[in-house]
Amino acid sequence: MDISTLKRRGLMYVLSSPSGAGKTTITRALLKNNADKMSVSVSATTRQRRAGEVQGQDYHFVDITEFNKMVENGDMLEHAKVFGNYYGTPRSQVEEALASGKDVIFDIDWQGTQQLREMARDDLVTVFILPPSARELENRLRNRSKDTLETETQIRDRMSKSNDEMTHYSEYDYVLINRDIDWAIEQAQMILDAERLKRRRLIGLSDFVRGLKEGR
């Protein structure tokens, strides 16, 4: 029996956290460290494109009419309204990647994660990232605001929303407390490696074992 006949179905790797807890940094590190095995889910959004953002690379920028049409046609795996704008995950790009054995990483909130769980439970691995303290989270948001030019009101809105988001930690498979970003990246990679080895992700395993028993 040729071991090359064994194929692995990709998994959907979800990272969620309140703003400033580190999920974007961890996502980028995982993509870099798993470049040949992983792609990022590029969301569709109705928000305005920011300076430097690339259509189809950072987001699929669409208007509200087109977004609603995608939802109505069942072309979204999940969608949610966040800070006044709509975000969603186009279905086709994800399903193609999974079928080819490539993992897809998601940087989405708890609302999107709930929807994915209803539609793709067997393919889904979810990780919630927490900050080490509320004070540290606020410091990170304030430091980030120097680049994003967010106002004091916007920072307070994010802190308020963070309190709600953190109540959903128990809905996730894993929880990481981001005391140190290098440690958090390492732990996120360990979770990914372990989940890739799960029996249910190997396609053709029963035939392979049958061949071993028959001496092939």
Model pTM? 0.82
DSSP 2: -
Number of domains in the chain: 1
Is 61 within the bounds of a domain? no
Closest CA to 110 of 167, 59, 158: 167
Which CATH number is 12's domain given?
3.40.50.300
Give the separation between CA 40 and CA 13, rounded to whole angstroms. 9
- The backbone torsions φ and ψ at residue 94, rounded to the nearest 5 degrees and listed phi first, read -70, -45
Is 49 within the bounds of a domain? no
Q: Which residues contact 134 (CB under 8 A, 6 or more apart)?
A: 159
Look up the domain containing 149 and give its range: 3-41+102-213
Structure confidence by residue, pLDDT tens digits, 82-132? 888 999 999 988 999 998 999 999 988 898 899 999 888 789 999 999 988
Is 160 within the bounds of a domain? yes
Is 149 within the bounds of a domain? yes
Is 206 within the bounds of a domain? yes
Q: Which residues does residue 78 pair with via DSSP β-bridges, in sequence order?
A: 89
- Supply the angle between the helices 134-148 and 152-166 in degrees, to the nearest 10: 140
Structure confidence by residue, pLDDT tens digits, 17-38? 988 788 889 999 999 999 999 9
DSSP state letters, 155-190: HHHHHHHHHHHHTTGGGSSEEEE-SSHHHHHHHHHH
pLDDT at 181 over 90: yes
Is 56 within the bounds of a domain? no
Give the separation between CA 216 and CA 200, rounded to whole angstroms. 23
Ranges of H-type helices in 75-151: 91-99, 110-119, 134-148
Structure confidence by residue, pLDDT tens digits, 127-165? 999 988 878 877 777 776 555 556 777 777 777 777 888
Is 166 within the bounds of a domain? yes
What local confidence, expressed as pLDDT, does residue 152 receive? Answer: 73
Q: Which residues contact 10 (CB under 8 A, 6 or more apart)?
A: 97, 98, 99, 100, 101, 102, 103, 104, 123
Is 93 within the bounds of a domain? no
DSSP 49: P
